């Protein structure tokens, strides 16, 4: 069965610094996709970045990059130059094969301090 593990319940970072949020996954499928979402207190899940299992290069989207290490089954999110508005819950999720189902981790609460 698919499983996503986020071991950091909470993280703190100073404004303008970089932060890494950890995510490890478990799957027996060869084809899968990895996602990161941001959830502010308002509740909406905001898509940040996607990495396919066959993508050879790490995905990047503006200040977000995904450090994909397939052999270690890890897909860490790196946020560069943190901003106060980055304070939120961050969820790592996996979609396996042709299924549309997303499996989420328990999330990491990021707090950016001024």
Partner 1 sequence: ETGVTQSPTHLIKTRGQQVTLRCSSQSGHNTVSWYQQALGQGPQFIFQYYREEENGRGNFPPRFSGLQFPNYSSELNVNALELDDSALYLCASSLALGEAFFGQGTRLTVV
State yes or no: residue 102 binds partner 1 (CB under 8 A). Answer: yes
Structure tokens that stand for 8 in this block:
């950091």
Binding to partner 1 by residue 94, rule CB under 8 A? no
Per CB under 8 A, the segment of 17-25, 42-50, 55-63, 69-77 that binds partner 1 is 42-50
Residue 45 binds to partner 1 (criterion: CB under 8 A): yes
Contact partners, residue 32, CB within 8 Å, separation at least 6: 2, 25, 52, 53, 94, 95, 96, 97
Dist CA 8 CA 107 (whole Å): 8
Q: Which residues bind partner 1 (CB under 8 A)?
A: 4, 35, 37, 42-47, 50, 91, 93, 95, 98-107
């Amino acid at each position: 069965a698919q499983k996503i593990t986020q071991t950091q319940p909470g993280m703190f970072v100073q404004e303008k610094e970089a932060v890494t949020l950890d995510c490890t996954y478990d799957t027996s499928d060869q084809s899968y996709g990895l996602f990161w979402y941001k959830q502010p207190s308002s509740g909406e899940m905001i898509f940040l970045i996607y990495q396919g299992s066959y993508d050879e290069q790490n995905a990047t989207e503006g200040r977000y990059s995904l450090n994909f290490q397939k052999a270690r089954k890890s897909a860490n999110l790196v946020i560069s130059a943190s901003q106060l508005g980055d304070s939120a819950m961050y969820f790592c999720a996996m979609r396996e094969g042709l299924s549309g189902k997303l499996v989420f981790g328990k999330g990491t609460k990021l707090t950016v301090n001024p």
